[in-house]
Each structure stands twice: as C-alpha cells, then as structure tokens.
Amino acid sequence: MKAWSKEAMTSFDVRATARELDSLLEGALIDKIYQVGERELKVKVHVPGVGSHYLVWEPGMRVHLTWRPKPSPDQPTSVSQALRNTLSGDRIERVTQLGFDRILRFDLRSGRRVHVELLPKGTLAVTDENNVIERAFPARRFRNRAVVPGEVYEPPEGPPDPYELDRDAFLELLLEADRDLVRTLAVDVGLGGLYAEEVLLRAGLYERRESHASEFEEDELEELYETLRDLLEQISEGDLRPTLYRTTERDYVDVTPVPLERYSDELEMEEQDTFQRALDEYYVTKFLAEKEREVREEWEREKRRLERTIERQRSSIEQLRTKAEKLRGRANALYLNYNLVDGILSELRKAERKGYSLDEIKRRIQEAKGSGIEEVERIADIDVENRRVILRLPGENGEVTVPVPIDSDVHSTASKLFDRAKELERKAERAQEVLREQERELEKLLEEGPPEVELEELTVELTKRRKKDWYERFRWFISSDGFVVIGGSDAHTNEIILRRYLEEHDILVHAHVHGAPHVVIKTEGEEVPETTLREAAIFAASYSRAWRWGLKAADVYWVTADQVDKSAEAPHGGAIIRGKRNWFRRTELKVAIGVQEVEGGYRVMGGPVSAVKKHCMTYGVLEPGNERKSDVARRLFELFKKEVENLRRYLTVDDVMRAMPPGNARLLEVG
C-alpha cells in the first residue's frame, strides 16, 4: 500500500470531527487567522475555561484542532487580513456536517457561517445571516454554482446520506441496483470503497462482495443493514476509537475515527485519545516527513557541492605543486649543468654575431645531430619566435626539458624559475588552507547529518538561545560525582563518540541490548567512583531499546578505553571489546528529566534519578510505561513551568522530549 495514500478527510472523518468540535469549541472566541500555506489557514481560538488553541482550515483537505501549529508569518496575507476583519471577535456556536458531504459548517454568534469544503477544488466561504457570501478562499466558479462574494452560497450536490436510509429503503436500494454489492454500498449508499468493504467484513460477507444483492438471503442483507447502523451510530454518537495506520516501514497511510478490520492484517494500528489528536498526528507527521525529505535533499545537495568543491580544490593544489616541482627541477638542472648551458648560450650568441640567423643555426644543429658533441645533443629544439633554446638536461630525478632564453644567463633563468616555483607553492599553501576549511565544513556537515525537523519549528514559541556545551550535541548527563557522561542516539553518533571522544582513561559503558548506545564516562584522568559507574549503567540501559520494549531491567557492562578495539573490522558504530567485561546485572530502567539552571538560561537534563536530583531544580521520574512520550513530555513541561518562572522563554516541550528515553513512559513522581 502506498504511503500517504490518504490526502483529504472522508465523509466519516467529517462526521466525527463535527461531533468533537461541536463539543470542544462551543462559545470559543475567534482571535487571529493566519495563512500558513498556499491553501492552509491557522485559526487561533480562545476556549472559555480552557485557553487558547489552534484550528486548521485547509479547503479541499482537512479541518481539525492542532497541538503543533505551523509558524505564523511575520505579516498577515491579504486573505488572512480579510478573514480577520470579518471573523475576529466572533464566537463559535455550533459545528455541523452538511448532510453526509465533506463540508463542515461553523455557525457563529453573529449569524455568520463559515463553510469549509473538503471536496476536490473545495473552497472556504463566509456567509452572512442571509447566506450571502462575504468572503471566499479561494473564489471559484463551477458549472452549476459560484462561490464568490455577493452570491448566495449553494453547496455542491452531495452524495447519498446513509444516515437517512431506514431498513426498507436500504434493502430496496440494494436489490434495485445494477452493480455488485460492494460498489452499490460504495456509490449508491455513499460509503465509499473503504467503508463499503469494512461493513461487508464486519457482516461476514466480504468474500462475496462482487455478487449482486439478489444473490443473498434476506437475513444476510438485514444483518448487513444492522452492521451498517452499528458503524454509523458508533461514529455519530461519538463512541470513537480514533486509529492511525502504519506500514511496516512506519509510514502513516490512513487515520479513521474507529478501528477498521479492513486494515487489521496489513497495517500496524495505533489508537489515539481523540480524533482531533489522531488527525493532527497524521497530518503533522506527514508534513514533518515532507519537510524532512526537503531538508535531507537540501543537505545532500550541500554535501555534493562541498565534495565537488573539495575535489576541484585538491586537483588545483596538485596541479600547482606539480608545476612548482617541475619548475624547481628545471632550475636545479640548470645549476647542475651550469657550464654546459652557459657554453651553449655563448655559442648561440656568438653564431648570431657572425651573422647567422636562428633559423640557420637551428638547421645546422639538426644536421649535426649524432655527431657525439654533447652541446649539440642536449639541444632539443630552438624556439625561433620566442628566442629560446629547448634543452634536455640530466636532473636529480632523470632527464629534464628546460626552455632557456638565449639572451639571458644561467643564473638569471634559474632564479626566475625558483621564484615562479615559490609563488606557485605559496598559492598551493593558500589553497591548502582553504581546502582544510572546506574539509572541516564537510566533516561538520557529515557529523551533524541532515538537520532534524524539530517540533520547535512548528510552534509559535520563540525561545531564547544560549551557548551550549560541547557534549549537548549527544545524549548526556552530569553524574553525582561531577563527571560528564555522553551517549549516542544512533549508529552515526555512536561512531563519532567511539572514534573521537573515547580517549585514554575514559570508560565505555554498554547495555547488552542490540543497537544500544555507546556511553562514555569522560574521566579526565580521574578515578571513577562506583556511584558514577552505576549511574552510567542506568543511563545506558534506559536509553536503549529496552525502554521502548517496556522492559524493567537490562544487563550492562563497562570496560576501560584500552580494551576497545576501534579497528575497521568492527561494524559501523560498533567496537570489538578485548578482555574482561565488568557487569551490572539487571540494571533498573528508570530516569529523571529535570531543568537545570545554567549560564544564559536553563537546559533539560535526562539521566539517572540520583544525578538529576542533585543537579536540577525540578524534575520528574519516569519508567517504561504506556503513556505516549509526547503526552508525558507535555505533562512534565507544564509541571516545570509552575516551578520555573518564565521557563517558556528558554525551553519548549521539544527540549523535554529530546531528553527522554525512546518510547512510551509512565510518570512516577515529581520533585
């Protein structure tokens, strides 16, 4: 099944959304409206007794609450400003679905209505109390209707409404249809293909889906009707179990208000608390995936650019050095054969004084070839036009061809060659420095990898930046004894830690779990107490896959740096351990996440409870559990905000999430 197969919400999605929003947004004040995409609007609403929240209106696609809104533009667009002028300050009274169509209607206290069409080429229309369109985004004219200001709003002709079918009408429709059963349910009943198959599955009739209704017994069709009613009521009455569906590659392909048997054998299912949460997770994750792809492509382009630049620079340096070496070889050959060259130049000038032209001299030299006269044999050619004699001279590393001006002397010619060689070498050195900078830039790019698309980028929170310590690029904590402990988060950072940061006297700690992070205690040559060793073991176990698997404990070992073989035989991000391993058996998986005050603000530290308690002003203790990581992070952040004044100026929920182990959790205590 293709990833991201679902783009726009279905009629069933709209029905469930209308029910949830009608309950959640009653009396909500519309504050500001932002255009955050070509067709996407972000609506800030203030819910009485709850606070501010954001609503997404994207005609042709979706409507739902969002907990991770996209950033607002610096200036409102003409569209958002016009909608603000019309809607800001009004209150939402009711949210409904138009029939069974993919249209949500927001009834406002002023008498206005906002119609958000989620159909292909759908639009958003704001109408007055007389249903006359005041605003349209975008304005469109269709064959049988116009959604433009000044026109009366008319929705498109909608699909059949299964909620309007009683038993007799349902059976009559099926029996009179000229299609097979599954297509009749999809088209004539209005369920669409997915839910038509779902109803047949639940009724036990899926294998005969391509048969006509007339081929079924009456009691089978009645059971089909009852099954349909159960599904319709489950959604309309709000008995929802919102579900996300992933492929084995972990790509979302759908989100539905109730779990569907149709997907149970082929997709992983993940339930959410509310349909709004599920929709938000689906669409935000989709957005993040698209953004991450864009970021990775940009990173790959930059990587290729740097690699090409470095390759050209290396080639240029090599050419400069080769030319310089060649010039030095020529100059040295002139000095090694000083008397010979000086004699040749003297004889050439003497012949010219006698009235011989260079052409004549050149001809006579060619005729004398093979005579055994060394001066003649060493002349390869005479460049008459440039008045140069081309000599073949024995050099330090074999024979060298040297052009020598006839009107110059040996010393002057050699000096000029040396000067030119030195200039080329200086150019090569300058180019080498540029190359080193380019290589450092590429190394940094490769170390950091593609930038993460963080949730912080998708919120309206603007946090103060502070200068971070070097180890904060990894997982890290400060032990109770003051030692810096770092850990990898993937094979790439494991590789960096192992190759570059595991130094003499350091200690490597590793959980006996496949894919576990390399954890390094930076000893600075000091003896490491048992306390720090145990804390590092807890850190290694807790930030391994054992946490995600819901384990309570894992075995951990530690070795000294001299026991670690970093040879090429080791797998990427891995190492070969020599000698005895020191074990901490059944190390408990439990961490604390806390806020630490540092120069320039605050930071979040995650690690063993004892270490976090010592260094942090407030904290929460976690163990593997069933609560979503993001939910626990939000709870912790809310608790931290109560303890630390103006914390939101420095940190976000994302900072808390980054410090947490990889997987669901349970909050045990706070302090």
What are the pLDDT digits (tens) for 250-293?
788 999 998 898 898 889 888 887 899 899 999 988 888 888 88
What mean pLDDT do residues 468-482 have? 93
Is the pLDDT at 317 greater than 90, yes or no?
yes
Task: Return the closest-CA partner of residue 104 out of 243, 11, 191.
Answer: 11
How many other CB atoms are there within 10 angstroms of residue 79's CB atom?
18
Helix (H, G, I), strand (E, B) or coil at 615: helix
Closest CA to 212 of 249, 175, 187: 175
Residue 648, pLDDT above cutoff 70: no
Give 140's pLDDT tier (boundaries 50, 70, 90): very high
394 in Cβ contact with 340 (< 8 Å):
no
Close Cβ partners of 92 (under 8 Å, ≥ 6 residues apart):
25, 26, 27, 28, 30, 45, 106, 107, 108, 109
Output the 3-class SS for 305-316.
HHHHHHHHHHHH
For the record, the structure tokens of 456 come out as 């912080």
Percent of the chain with pLDDT over 70: 94
The confidence score (pLDDT) of residue 571 equals 56
Instruction: Kindly tell me if the per-residue pLDDT of 93 is higher than 90.
Output: yes
Alpha carbon dihedral 455, 460, 465, 470, in 10-degree steps, equals 0
Highest mean pLDDT among 353-357, 526-530, 565-569: 526-530
Average confidence score pLDDT of the chain: 89
Least confident of 334-338, 414-418, 459-463, 518-522: 459-463
Give the pLDDT band (50/70/90) at residue 4: very low
DSSP annotation of 499 reads I
| Rounded CA separation 309/316 (Å) | 10
**Mean pLDDT along residues 661-670:** 90
Question: Is 45 within 8 Å of 66 (Cβ atoms)?
Answer: no
pLDDT for res 458: 38
Beta carbons within 10 angstroms of residue 453's beta carbon: 18
Whole-number pLDDT of residue 20: 85
Over 70: is that where the pLDDT of 641 sits?
A: yes
Confidence of residue 633 (pLDDT cuts 50, 70, 90): confident
Q: Domain residues of the chain, as ranges?
A: 11-147, 470-670
Exposure string over 311-320, b if 16+ CB within 10 A, otherwise e: eebeeebeeb
Residue with the bigger pLDDT between 548 and 392: it is 392
Is residue 35 over pLDDT 80? yes
Q: What residues form DSSP beta bridges with 627?
A: 665
Residue 478's DSSP bridge partners are 484
Distance CA 484, CA 528 (A): 11
pLDDT for residue 49: 62
CATH ID of 11-147, from 3.20.110.20, 2.102.10.10, 2.30.310.10, 1.20.120.1780: 2.30.310.10
307 or 20, which is more confident: 307
Which amino acid, one-letter code, is at 499?
Answer: R
Would you state the pLDDT for residue 241? 81
Encode pLDDT of 513-529 as tens digits.
Answer: 876 889 999 999 999 99
Check whether 666 has a pLDDT greater than 90.
yes
Helix, strand, or coil (residue 338): helix
The model's pLDDT over 225-253, given as tens digits with 9 standing for 90+, comes to 988 988 887 787 655 788 999 987 778 89
**Tokens linked to 483:** 């030692």
pLDDT at 1 over 70: no
The tens digit of pLDDT for each residue in 572-624 reads 456 788 889 999 999 999 999 999 999 888 999 999 999 999 999 999 999 99
- pTM beyond 0.75, yes or no: no
Mention every residue, 6+ apart, whose C-beta is less than 8 A from residue 413: 331, 334, 404, 405
The Cα–Cα gap between 513 and 517 comes to 9
Q: Is the pLDDT of residue 463 over 50?
A: no
Scanning the structure block, which residue is given the tokens 């407030």?
Answer: 618
Tell me the three-class secondary structure of 71-112, residue by residue.
CCCCCCCHHHHHHHHHHCCCEEEEEEECCCCCEEEEEECCCC
Residue 490 pLDDT exceeds 70:
no
Q: Which of 620, 614, 616 has its CA nearest to residue 481?
A: 614
**Residues in CB range of 359: below 8 A, 6 or more apart:** 384
The helix, strand and coil proportions of the chain, stated in percent and rounded to the nearest 5, come to: 45, 25, 35
Q: What is the pLDDT of residue 491?
A: 55
**C-alpha to C-alpha distances, 366 to 78, 325, 359, 376, 379, nearest whole angstrom:** 86, 30, 11, 8, 9
What SS3 class is residue 258? coil
Sign for the pseudo-dihedral over CA of 460, 462, 467, 469: negative
Close Cβ partners of 119 (under 8 Å, ≥ 6 residues apart)? 8, 60, 101, 102, 103, 156
Mean of the pLDDT values across residues 626-650?
85
Task: Give the integer Cα–Cα distance in Å for 534 and 586.
Answer: 12
Taking residues 85-107, report their average pLDDT. Answer: 96
